[in-house]
Structure 1
Amino acid sequence: MTFRTRQSAFNPSVTLFEPDDIEDSFPSPEPPQRKKRIKTEQDAEASSSSTPSKRQKTDAASPRKVVKAASPKKPKPIPQALASPHPVPEKWQEVYDTIKEMRSRFTAPVDTMGCDQAQYQESDPKNRRFSTLIALMLSSQTKDEVTDAAVKKLRAAVGGILSIDAVLAAEESTVSEAINKVGFWRRKTGYIRQAAQKLRHDFNSDLPKTVDELCSLPGVGPKMAFLALQSAWNLNHGIGVDVHVHRITNRLGWHKKPTKNPEETRLNLQSWLPSEFHKEINHLLVGFGQVICLPVGPRCDMCDLSTRRLCPSAQKVTKATKRKTVALNEGSPAKIKVELEAEETVFPNPSIDEVSMAQLEVMPNEEEVGSLSTPKTEPS
């Protein structure tokens, strides 16, 4: 290194010695930003290195509680009995037998297109049981003829056999398109596929034999479960109560206090109705409700319960109305129009025998009843 000399500006007698390049004598300072970053990183490392010891001391002083994961709630079992039986209604047997007698005189939609009919298109026992379940799942809020057509269309869409494997192999859009005429078809599409998946994984691709297990399937409730057991396994574990059974038994006064929903109705009925009637009462009252005891405009004028004063809800005729045709099983196909004149008294009405050849009014509720099996459908 070479030096140069210069005289001090403050004292002329002092000589100063300096390197030729003063900048080379000192290292270049680090940029302020980088220096700050290094310091920050070092501080962070120091902080992190000190954290475990503090955490260990804290953990040692107050051990952390281990919280167990909550197990999924098990569904409540379906109730099967009341704490105390419901009182037996007066003359219930006479009422029941009268309805049964009337039902023998006409064919209702449930007789030819009910959910129990779906199984007869399948040969494999498992597929027959699965078809019954599918028909029941599609039937809610849907007319019988629409349900029947949807089951047939779905069977054809998945290859001609309505099985669990066929439904799961099909595209979701295929299932949706086949059932898009039934009520809530989008939701039911998901339910059908989810139920099929659960049946395959949990029940060996077959229907279980208990109400609680059936109700664990998506979209399946107590009514469907009881009816599925009756049709698929011939097991009579309770009454399948739908809107018809619920409506008619309340109109008949069979509940000391009117029931609010089908489950209340079921528990009341099961508490006093002999078990030999549990299986048939649904089919009996559904057909009766589809043709005579309609949700709106019930045909009290053709009901023997009204004639015999066995129904506390028998209605009055207020005006003559246009009638549609119902075919009664009385032998002759001839039909005679009956005009009902306005009156203000509670029926006695003509009995079924007297109007067996008459042209009768049918007013199905689209959400609750199946369509009537009439020879021709009049335009609405």
Structure 2
Amino acid sequence: MAKQVTEHEDFKKSPDSLNSDAIELSNVSDLIFEQRARWLKIRSLVTAVRERIPAPVDHMGCHVLPENVLKLHSIASQNLQVLLSLLLSSQTKDQNTFAAMQAFRAYFEPDEITPIGILATDESTIDQLIRGVGFHVKKAGYIKKIAGLLFNELKGQIPNSLPELIKLPGIGPKMGILYLQNARPYPGSDQLKNQNDDSFGLAVDTHILRLSQQWRLVTLPSHSSVATMTPELARAQLEQIVPREQWKEANPLLVGFGQTVCGARSKRCSDCDVSGTGLCSADQLNTTSAKRKIKQESLKIKDIEDLHVVKKEINHADQIVVHGRSLRPRKKKK
């Protein structure tokens, strides 16, 4: 009897074996299979673009902090700084988050950032150190509260499960997933012992939410109680479509693409390999916009030509109409 596939169960095969006979398509709905094939095509195209065009997340994201920035710090301080950087990243560009964490780290040097050190620091001072990030006043309060919980209740160790993590002030599912994927096990602890299987989840931020809808990977269910797609609704769908082993890589891959090539307001479609493949709904919008712009430019040129033709006659006309617009000659001052 064929094995029943649960909501978040995934293929154990590599992407290259997607069409292999070993995969029993009877276990996967046609829609999920089609969407997975769509994702794998998009992932390949986006990866090629990202190899050509680096992004801020590549050297400032939380996934590079432990190895590139914090490798000389203790595990406890590394994990705390990864969590704090995620907290500061909400509604903030990576460049500003990175600068705020540098200022925060410099303030405590030569000591490490610790819960007790944060508790000994005025909230107003913390606010000044991180003022370059969005909602810095509120985040300064969250930092103090997290330090208090770590010192008084959690024995200095950040929780290693998503339900417990999102109980911390200011920490949402996206931040919790990214923390679990990038934190390191505490000495003498079995926390995060399974982190290499990337099974904590697929972290969905504003870039991924927008792109996944633009590429028609996710859709708002007809029975949904909300009017627009949310990060958690998108995550539930993406975790069925994206192979489990790609969950961790998907976040920096797509975030960087959204930062550099396909922003909310500016889209560099000429640099995008997805453009023109029929996989992106922005193609139609951009084509319509381009046609509209060409039409507007042609009308302007036509107006200029018409005005040039009638220029010599305008002084003798009571009224001239060009493309439906009435032009009256100016009366000469006596």
Specify if TM > 0.5. yes
1:289-300 counterparts in 2 under 5 A?
Answer: 289-300=258-269
- Kindly indicate whether residue 56 of structure 2 is the aligned counterpart of residue 87 of structure 1: no
- Kindly indicate whether residue 78 of structure 2 is the aligned counterpart of residue 128 of structure 1: yes
Structure 1 spans left out of the alignment, 5+ residues: 1-79, 321-340, 345-380
1:23-62 counterparts in 2 under 5 A?
Answer: none
**Coordinate RMSD, CA, aligned:** 2.6
- Aligned residue for 2:52, secondary structure, equals coil
User: For the residues of structure 2 that align with 1:196 and 1:149, how far apart are their CA atoms?
Assistant: 21
**Structure 1 length-normalised TM:** 0.60
1:241-269 superposed Cα distances (whole Å, 9 cap, x missing partner): 10011010000000143761101111111
- Greater helix content: 2
Task: Give the drift of 1:316.
Answer: 2.2
- Which residue identity does 2:104 align to in structure 1? L
- Kindly indicate whether residue 93 of structure 2 is the aligned counterpart of residue 143 of structure 1: yes
Give the structure 2 partner of residue 271 of structure 1: 240
Give the structure 2 partner of residue 36 of structure 1: none
- Kindly indicate whether residue 46 of structure 2 is the aligned counterpart of residue 96 of structure 1: no
Quick one: which of 120, 129, 137 aligns to 1:178? 129
* Number of aligned positions between the proteins: 245
Identity across matched positions, percent: 35
Task: Give the drift of 1:151.
Answer: 0.4
Q: Is the 8 A contact 1:135 1:151 kept in 2?
A: yes
Residues 244 and 319 of structure 1: is their aligned pair in 2 closer, same or farther, counting only changes over 3 Å? closer
1:1-380 counterparts in 2 under 5 A?
Answer: 87-88=32-33, 89=35, 90-119=37-66, 120-121=69-70, 122-160=72-110, 161-233=112-184, 235=195, 236=198, 237-257=200-220, 260-314=229-283, 315-316=285-286, 343=294
Residues 247 and 319 of structure 1: is their aligned pair in 2 closer, same or farther, counting only changes over 3 Å? closer
Q: Is the 8 A contact 2:39 2:241 kept in 1?
A: no
- Which residue identity does 2:45 align to in structure 1? T
**Structure 2 length-normalised TM:** 0.68
Give the structure 1 partner of residue 329 of structure 2: none
Task: Give the drift of 1:159.
Answer: 3.5
User: For the residues of structure 1 that align with 2:294 and 2:153, how far apart are their CA atoms?
Assistant: 61
Q: Is the 8 A contact 1:222 1:240 kept in 2?
A: yes
User: For the residues of structure 1 that align with 2:157 and 2:289, how far apart are their CA atoms?
Assistant: 53
Residues 308 and 209 of structure 1: is their aligned pair in 2 closer, same or farther, counting only changes over 3 Å? same
User: For the residues of structure 1 that align with 2:8 and 2:277, how far apart are their CA atoms?
Assistant: 33
Structure of greater Rg:
1
Q: Is the 8 A contact 2:49 2:271 kept in 1?
A: no
